[in-house]
Chains A and B, each alone.
Chain A
């Protein structure tokens, strides 16, 4: 601390222990943001529900009981029952597993493909850049859900393929955001300094560029999770994602469609679960953006959910 404090006097107000103080500031800003904290708490509860779901769910997810079919919400069935007499509360809780899993894995795929593409594109420029970005532009030229549907038409419906399809859909966003950040950082003095010291490209990318593009990517990850969960719900609703009898929120909404008039709860509760989850990710994403990257106007946001 003594070493830095003497320098602190010289550069009054400028944080020297960049990393630490920035992380501190970020955490502080997020904790001060009530919406972000609310979002974090909801997400924590969701993760717990997904993890210990079978323990808290009062009934089995496929426990069929025809005499109890289409019952409204009551003390024994909080969210009512569906057309096969299955307990909706249990199914909504277990459904959180699908949403979270698809969300995380799909966004993980998009990150793993998109970030290296963006890094290479921004760092090397020239022909590499223009080819990679043209390819991303082509993916961007198709509406998100349509692209996912086309991918699923080839791969066949199912939860694993839905994750791949959603991952492909969101890859260009990560590639573009990473590229944009790399382009600005590439010109920094510390990059030229590293290069003049003989650092290899890989080393420059790993130790100097990557840490500096983490902020926009983190923000994007959180917002993309919200959209990935919406996309999974839409695909499952259309019958292309999770297959019956597994419970997924989108799937449950589709099953409730035939019973609108007799059993509106079949459509209401799974939908509310989606809204709350997506809202939580959005709150956290917005909070992260305010804390890390106030300048960034999210590409994904302007592109819309779909």
Chain B
């Protein structure tokens, strides 16, 4: 197991290094002088010179990359071209809101998909199975941002049950926190849940048709025992993988959904930085999101290795 963990850690470091090269290149691939572009009409030669120097853009490119990487590893991502604030501060201010939303969305997704997926597979061909499968077919075709808009139209503007946008921190007011969190979490969670549902259903269905399941039945176990001790342990493995991959989708969905619900998270920050041509902030946001994404994948893979001993040996 140790060798497996080390190998995966090394792979993750390699992927991060690759991502860092792409992120670093961002600022250099932009046509023209990125600082001048970012300053736009507020151009001031002194500010320009200071920002260029602070970002190290006046040095040879390889030197720039390694010093940027060295700083990034120590948590220094430079300063925003717009506000002059340290990028790391801007990012960590918004990280909790994004994590809250992603976790809440995953919670919704699992709450919907796991029970429905298992039930649909166990009673495949039933009305419940048809209904759930049809609903998931529709849900995977719905753009997340449109679902969000429809929820706002229905639950906020017509029924006036929930606030249409904004964020309240848990420590300020737990009830308002939950109210503000509900619609964005439902928006991402239901779509993600419908993708998960399809995988859980087919994973359980596959395990139900394996010889070991037939053997368990032949031994005279009750259906409940067959499902919980023979079918599910085998079905969990593919489910864990897909849940891990779904986190990538959650992070993607979070970007657009944050914009709709004026959720002060990383995705909205990344998008605003594109609009403002604030490249250091964009670099930081992409790097941080990629880091979170890769870390989650690593955890999922390790969990996978724990669940399925065969994986460790490969």
Chain A residues in contact with chain B, CB under 8 A? 35, 134-135, 137-138, 141-146, 149-150, 152-154, 226, 230, 233-234, 237-240, 250, 253, 256-257, 260-261, 264, 267-268, 271, 274-276, 278-279, 282-283, 297, 301-306
Number of A-B contacts (CB under 8 A): 157
Contacts known (A141-B294, A153-B282); A238 close to B259, Cβ less than 8 A:
yes
Query: Would A154 and B249 count as touching, CB distance under 8 A?
Result: no
Query: Would A275 and B138 count as touching, CB distance under 8 A?
Result: yes
Chain B residues in contact with chain A, CB under 8 A? 14-16, 18-19, 22-23, 26, 29-30, 137-138, 140-146, 149-150, 152-153, 157, 191-192, 195, 198-199, 202, 241-242, 245-246, 248-249, 251-253, 255-256, 259-260, 267, 270-271, 274-275, 277, 279, 282, 286, 289-290, 293-294, 297
Closest to B287 in A: A142
Contacts known (A304-B245, A304-B246); A143 close to B138, Cβ less than 8 A:
no
- The smallest beta-carbon distance between A285 and chain B, in angstroms, is 11
Beyond A138-B22, A305-B144, 13 extra complex contacts between A and B, CB < 8 Å: A141-B294, A145-B252, A150-B26, A150-B282, A153-B274, A233-B145, A278-B143, A279-B138, A282-B137, A282-B141, A283-B137, A301-B198, A306-B248
**30 residue pairs from A and B, CB less than 8 Å apart:** A137-B18, A141-B15, A141-B18, A141-B290, A141-B293, A141-B294, A145-B252, A146-B270, A146-B286, A150-B22, A150-B286, A154-B26, A233-B143, A234-B144, A237-B145, A237-B256, A238-B271, A240-B274, A250-B145, A257-B260, A264-B153, A268-B150, A274-B143, A275-B138, A275-B146, A282-B140, A301-B195, A301-B198, A301-B199, A304-B245
- The smallest beta-carbon distance between A106 and chain B, in angstroms, is 16
- The smallest beta-carbon distance between B292 and chain A, in angstroms, is 10
Chain A CB within 10 Å, residue with most, of B141, B199, B245, B270: B141
Query: Would B282 and A234 count as touching, CB distance under 8 A?
Result: no
Contacts of A282 in B (CB 8 A): 137, 140-141
Query: Would B149 and A257 count as touching, CB distance under 8 A?
Result: yes
Query: Would A154 and B245 count as touching, CB distance under 8 A?
Result: no
